[in-house]
Structure 1
Amino acid sequence: MDRSSIIKIIALMVTGFGIGIDFTGALILVPAIENSFDTDITSTQWVLNIYALFFAMTMVAGGRLGDMYGHRKMMLIGLSIFLFSSIMCFLSPTLDFLIVARALQGIGAGCVWPCTLAFGATKVSRPEHRAMIMGLILAGVTCGNVFGPLISGTVVNLGDWRLFFLANVVFSTISMVTALLLMQRETQHKQGEHIDFAGMGILSFAVLLLLYALDVGADWGWRSPPLLMLFLLSAGLFFLFPKVEKRVKEPLLLPQMMANREFRITLGLNMFNVSAAFVGLMYFPQYMQKVLGWSTLQSAFGLAPLTVLLAVGSIVSGKLYNDFGPKRLLFWGYLCAAIGAASVVAMPATLGYWQILPGMAMIGLGATLTVGPSGTAAVCAVKPERAGLVGGLSFMTHLVYGAVSVACATAIMFLVSLRSLGEQLTAAGIDMSDADQRAINGGTLTTATARDVMQKLTGPEVEKVKDAIASAFDTGMNMAFIFATLSVSVGIVLAMLLDEDKLHKVEN
C-alpha cells in the first residue's frame, strides 16, 4: 500500500475515533444524567436510542449524498453538524433539550459514517485491501469506544457530566482539520441519483413510535388503549413501508439486490449481532454503579473487557475475513455472543463483578467476529460506486435494531424489576405506594425523588429496601439478557444459512 493510501486511512481512523467516543461515553453517563434531571432509566435510555435512530436513518441519505456530491464534502458537513450539536449537549438545561441535541448529533454522525466507509472501500490501491481497510476504520471507532467511557468517568469525577461533550467538540474539530488537509477533493460523482425521503420518513416514524410505546408502556399500562394505538400505528407504518418502496424511483432497498437471498441474509446478520452488545453496554455500567456501588470511573475500567476486545478484534477482523470467510466468522461470533449473554443470566448474583465478567468477554469477542465481517460482506457484494449506499444501509439496520433491542430490553427490565421489588417489599413487611416503588426502581437512589422516598423509611427499613432494589435490578437485568440471548441466537441460524459463493454474485 502506498504512502498516500496510508495517510487517507489515518484520516478516516481519526474520524471514526471521534464518533466512537461519543457512543459508549454517553452510556456511562446515564446514572449521572438520571441524577441531574431527576428521572429514571426509561427516560434516559433516549440518550442512546434517539442518537442511534437518527444516526441510522440519516446514514442511507448521507451515503447517497456522498456518492452524488462527494464523500469529503458530506463528511465536512456532517462534522459541522456534530460539532454544533455537541455544544448544545454541553449547554443542555433539561433532558428534553439533551435528547433533541443527541438527535442532531445522530444526524451529523449519519452524514459522516457512510462516507468514511465509502472512502475506505474505494480509495485504496487494490481491491484485496478492502477488508483490511474496513477493519482499520472500525478499529478507530472501537478505540474510541474504549476511551469514551474513560473520558466519561473522568468528567463525572470532576463533577459535571456535561464536560464529556466538550471532548466531542475537540475530536470533531480534529476530524474536520484532518479531512481538510489529508483527503483530496473528488472530481467525479454519480449523476441522476435520487434519495428516498418518503421511505426514510415512514421507516423512521415507525421505529420512533415503537420506541416511544416501549418507553411509556410501564406508565400507561401495557393493555391501555392509547398504548395499543401506538403499537398499531407503528405496525401500520412498517406495513406501508414496502408498498411505498415499490413506487419510488430509487428505494432504500434496491430490488435487484433484495432479490438475492444471500444479500438479505447479510442484512439480517448486520442486525442481530448488536443486541447483546447494546444491552451489555447499557446495563453493565449501571450494574457496576447501582448494584456494586462503583464510581463512574471505576465502572468505565470495569467495562474494559468488552470495549478493549471490540477494539483489538476490529484490527484483526479484516485479515480474518480474508483468511476464513464471513460464514465461519459470523457463526462463531454469534455463538460466542449468545453464550456470553446467557452466562450473565446463569451466573449467581453473589459473585458480584464476576457475574458479568465472562459475559462481557464473550459478548466482546462475539461482536469482533460479527460487526466488521457482516458490514464488509454487504459492502463487498456491490460495485464500488454503491459502497456509500450499502455501507449506510448495512449500518442503518445495525443501529435501528440496536435501538429497538435496548428499548425492548429496558421495557422488560423495568417491568420485571418493578414486580420483583414489590414482592420483596411485601415479604419484608414494608408498605410503599406504587408511585414510590416506581421512583426507586432501577437503582438510582440519588435523584431528588428517590431521596424523598427513602427519607420516609426507618434505618432498618432503608437497608432492607436497598437490598431489595439491588436484587430487583439483578432480576430485571437477567430478563433483559434472556431477550438478548434469544435475539442473538437468530444470527446463529442466519450464519448457517449463508452461502458465500452466491453472496458475491449479487446483480447491482
Structure 2
Amino acid sequence: MDGKAKRILAAVSIPSFLIGTDFTGAMLLVTPIEQEYSVDITTTQWVLNAYALTLSMGLVAGGRLGDMLGHRRFVLIGLAIFLFASLACILAPNVTALIVARALQGIGSALVWPCILALAATSVEEDERAQAMGILMGTVAGGNVLAPFIAGTLAEFGDWRGFFVFNLVFALIAMVLIARFIEREKEHNTDEAVDLAGMAVLAGGVFCLLFGLDVGADNGWTDWVTLSLFAIACVLFVLFPFIEKAVRDPMIPVSMMRNHQFVRTLALNGLPAIVLFLCLLYLPQYMQKVLGWSIFWSAMGMLPLAVVVASMNLAVGNYYNSVGPRKLMSLGHAFLMAGCVGMLFLQTSWGYLALVPIMVLVGLGGGLVFGPAGTAAVNAVGAKGAGLAGGLSFMFHLGLGAIGIAFATSMMFLSATRVVENALAAATIKLGSQDIHTLAAGTLKDPAVAAIIDRLSSKDAVTVTAAVRDSFAEGLHTAFWFGLVVAAVGVVVSLSVDEKKLKTEPEQT
C-alpha cells in the first residue's frame, strides 16, 4: 500500500469512527435525556430511531450522489450537515427538537459513509482491498463500542450534550483532513439518478414497522392502530420490489437483488449488529439498574467489549484471503451464539465479572463478522459498484440492528410488565395500568418510578423496588433469546456463502 493510499485511509477513518459513535453513543444518553425532558422510554427511543431511519434509508442515495457528482464533494457536504445537526442537538430546547436534529444527523451520515467506503475501496489495489476495508470497518465498529464510554464519561462529568460537542469537533477535524488529503475525482457516473420513489416506499415501511412496535408495546398487539401500522408496513415492503423494477436507476438494482451472494452478504452485515446493539444498549443499563453503578462506571465496564471488537476488526482483514470469509463469518456467529447463551444463564448475584467473558465472546464474534461481511459485499459486485454496495451494506447493518433492537425492546417490555404484574398480584398491591407501565419501562432512578414508590407503604415499597429490578433482569433474558435465534440464523447464512462468487469483476456486474 503506497503513501497516497495510506493518507486517504487515514483521512476517511476519522469520519468512519465518528459515524460509528453516533448511534451507539446515544444509547447511553437515553436515561438522562428522559429525565431532563420528563418523557418516557417510548418517546426517547425515537432519539435512536430517527437517526437510524434517516441514515439507513439515505445511504443508497448518498452512494448514488457520490458516484454521480464526486465522493469527496459529498463527504464534505455530509459532514457540514452533520456538524450543523450536532449544534442543533446541543441547543435543543425540547425532545421534539432533539429528535428532528438527530434525523438531520442521520442524513449527514448517509451522505458520508458510502462515499468514504468508495474512496477507500478505489484508493488501493484489488489484493489490498480486504485490508483497507478491514481498517475502515474496524474504525466504525470501534466507534460503535467506544461510544458508550465516550458518552458515559461526558454525561457523568458534564452534561449529555457534551457527546454532541464531541460530534461537532470531530466533524470539523474530518472536514479539514478530507479537504487536505483527498483530491477531487475527475470522472463520474453522470448517467445515474436517485431513486426517490423506492427510498420513500422503503423508508415508509420501516417507519411503520418501528412505530407499530412502539405503539404495540403501549397499547397492545391487537390494538387497531398497531395492526394498521403493521399492515401498511407489509404492503409497502411487498410494493418495494415492483417499484424497483419500474424506475430507471433503482435504489437496489434488480441485478443486485438477483445476486444471491450479494444478498447473503447484506444479511450478514445486519444480523451480527443486532446482537452487538443488544449488548451496547442493555449491558450498561444492567450495570446501572442491577449492579447500581453510575453512568461513568457502566461505560467503563464496557471496555472489554470495545477492546476486543476494535482489535479483531483491525486484525481480521489480514486473514480474509487466506482463511476465507465463510469460515470467518461462521465462526464469528458461533461466538455470538455463545455470548447470548451466557446472557441466558446470567444471575444477578454473580456480579460484574460474569459479564466479562460474555463481552469477550460477543467482541470476538462481531470482530470476525463485520469486516469480512463488508468486504464480501463490495467484492460481490466489484469496485465500480463499491459506493452503492457500501451504502447497502451499512444500510442493512444499521437498519436490521435498529429493527432488531425495536423487536427485542418490545419483547423485553412485555416480559418486564408480566414480572411487575405478578409481583403486585402476589403482594395484593393495586396500581393502575399506567403506573405498571411506568414501573416496567423505568428505572429506580427515574422520578416517575420514585414518585410511585413514595406513595406506597414501606413494606409495599420494598416489594415494588425488587419487582422493578427483577423485571429488568427477566426482560434481559427474553431479549437475548431473540439474539440467540438471530446469531443461529447468521451461522446458517454464513455457511451458505459461495466464496468463489465473491470475486466478481466490475465489468460482469
Partner of 1:346: 345
CA separation in 2, counterparts of 1:260 and 1:145?
29
| Pairing of 1:170-319 with structure 2 (within 5 A) | 170-319=169-318
User: What is the correspondence of 1:350-369 to structure 2 with a 5 Å cutoff?
Assistant: 350-369=349-368
Query: CA shift at 1:355, angstroms?
Result: 4.3
**Alpha-carbon distance between aligned partners in 2 of 1:407 and 1:146, rounded to the nearest angstrom:** 19
Match of 1:88 in 2: 88
321-330 or 147-156, which deviates more: 147-156
- Correspondence 1:395 to 2:394: yes
Aligned equivalent of 2:457? 458
Written as runs of structure 1 = structure 2, the 5 A alignment for 1:35-74 is 35-74=35-74
What is aligned with 1:332? 331
SS, match of residue 160 in structure 1: coil
* Structure 1 position 137, deviation (Å): 1.5
1:176 CA displacement: 0.6
Counterpart of 1:387 in structure 2: which amino acid? A
For the 8 Å contact 2:420–2:439, the answer to whether it is kept is: no
Q: Which amino acid aligns with 2:123?
A: K
In the TM superposition, residue 449 of structure 1 has moved relative to its aligned partner by 2.2
Q: For residues 53 and 156 of structure 1, what CA distance do their matches in structure 2 show?
A: 25
Are the counterparts in 1 of residues 146 and 303 from structure 2 also a CA contact under 8 Å?
Answer: no
Instruction: Answer yes or no: is the 8 Å Cα contact 1:195–1:250 preserved in 2.
Output: yes
Q: Give 1:146 shift.
A: 4.3
Which whole-Å CA distance do the structure 1 matches of 2:501 and 2:146 have between them? 39
Q: Deviations over 1:153-202 (max 9, x none)?
A: 22222242112111111000000111111111111111201211111110
Q: Is the 8 A contact 1:21 1:145 kept in 2?
A: yes
User: Counterparts in 2 of 1:128-143, with a 5 A limit?
Assistant: 128-143=127-142
Counterpart of 1:274 in 2: which secondary structure? Answer: helix
SS in 1 for 2:151: helix
Which amino acid in 2 is paired with 1:427? A
**Which amino acid in structure 1 is aligned with residue 15 of structure 2?**
T
Residues 413 and 476, structure 1, Cα contact 8 Å, conserved in 2: yes
CA distance 1:237–1:262, shift in 2 (3 Å):
same
**Which amino acid in 1 is paired with 2:2?**
D
Q: Distance in 2 between matches of 1:22 and 1:229?
A: 32
Aligned residue pairs total 507
Q: Structure 1 residue 34 and structure 2 residue 30: aligned?
A: no
Q: Is the 1:42–1:411 Cα contact (8 Å) retained in structure 2?
A: no
Q: Is the 8 A contact 2:120 2:133 kept in 1?
A: yes
Quote the residue 1:123 is aligned against: 123
Conservation of the 8 A alpha-carbon contact between 1:62 and 1:115: yes
> Secondary structure of 1:273's partner?
helix
Q: Distance in 2 between matches of 1:138 and 1:186?
A: 23
SS of match in other structure, 1:339: helix
Cα shift at 1:353: 2.3
Determine helix, strand or coil for the equivalent of 1:79.
helix
Match of 2:407 in 1: 408
Unmatched tracts of structure 2, length 5 or more = none
Tell me, in whole angstroms, the C-alpha distance in 2 between the residues paired with 1:502 and 1:381. Answer: 7
Query: TM-score, with normalisation over the residues of structure 2?
Result: 0.96
TM-score, structure 1 as length reference: 0.96
Mapped contact 2:423–2:463 kept (Cα < 8 A): no
Q: Is the 8 A contact 1:344 1:355 kept in 2?
A: no
User: How far has the Cα of 1:218 moved from its partner?
Assistant: 2.2
Q: Identify the range of structure 1 (167-176 vs 308-317) with the bigger mean alpha-carbon deviation.
A: 308-317
Following superposition, the deviation at residue 149 of structure 1 comes to 2.1
CA distance, structure 2, for counterparts of residue 41 and residue 91 of structure 1:
21
Aligned-residue offset at 1:313: 1.1
Q: In the superposition, relative to structure 1, how do residues 260 and 142 fare at CA in structure 2: closer, same or farther (>3 Å)?
A: closer
Worse-matched range after superposition: 126-135 or 348-357: 348-357
Unaligned runs of 5+ in 1: none
Task: Tell me the distance in 2 between the aligned counterparts of 1:317 and 1:395.
Answer: 18
Q: Letter of the aligned partner of 1:333 in structure 2? A: G
* AA aligned opposite 1:186: E
Mapped partners of 1:42, 1:488: distance in 2: 26
Flag the 1:212–1:103 CA change in 2: closer, same or farther, 3 A: same
User: For 1:340 and 1:212, how far apart are their aligned partners in 2?
Assistant: 29
Q: CA deviation at 1:81?
A: 0.6
Q: Does the residue aligned with 1:42 lie in a helix, a strand or coil?
A: helix
1:472 corresponds to: 471
CA distance in 1, matches of 2:93, 2:99: 11
Q: Which moved more, 1:254-263 or 1:173-182?
A: 254-263
What amino acid does structure 1 have at the position aligned with 2:275? A
- Coordinate RMSD, CA, aligned: 1.5
**Residues of 2 paired with 1:447 and 1:346: CA distance?**
28
Structure 2 distance, partners of 1:290, 1:36, is 19
Q: 1:97 maps to what in 2?
A: 97
Deviation at 1:387, TM superposition (A): 0.6
**Preserved CA contact (<8 Å) 2:198 2:251:** yes
CA contact (8 A) 2:244 2:254 kept: no
Range with greater deviation from structure 2 (250-259 or 491-500)? 250-259
- Alignment partner, residue 429 of structure 2: 430
1:4 corresponds to: 4
Choose 70-79 or 316-325, whichever is displaced more. Answer: 316-325
Q: Mean Cα displacement is larger for which, 257-266 or 405-414?
A: 257-266
1-structure distance, mates of 2:455, 2:363: 43
Give a deviation string over 1:240-264, Cα, whole Å, max 9, x none: 1111111011212222232232222
Match for 1:490: what amino acid?
A: V
Structure 1 contact 349–355 (Cα < 8 Å) conserved:
no
SS at match of 2:441: coil
Structure 1 Cα separation of the partners of residues 440 and 354 of structure 2: 21
| 1:495 CA displacement | 1.0
Paired with 2:155 and 2:57, the residues of 1 have a C-alpha distance of 31
Matched residue of 2:161: which SS?
helix
Per the TM alignment, residue 37 of structure 1 is displaced from its structure 2 partner at its CA by 2.1
Q: Which moved more, 1:308-317 or 1:455-464?
A: 455-464
Q: Distance in 2 between matches of 1:439 and 1:259?
A: 47
Query: Matched residues in 2 for 1:75 and 1:505: separation?
Result: 27
- The separation in 2 between residues aligned to 1:138 and 1:502, in whole angstroms, is 22
Do the aligned residues in 2 keep the contact of 1:90 with 1:162 (CA within 8 Å)?
A: yes
Identity of aligned residues (%): 44
Question: Quick one: distance in 1 between partners of 2:22 and 2:328?
Answer: 28
- Which one-letter code corresponds to 2:307 in the other structure? V
Residue identity opposite 2:314 in structure 1: I
Which secondary structure does the structure 1 equivalent of 2:101 belong to?
A: helix
Q: Distance in 1 between matches of 2:309 and 2:20?
A: 11
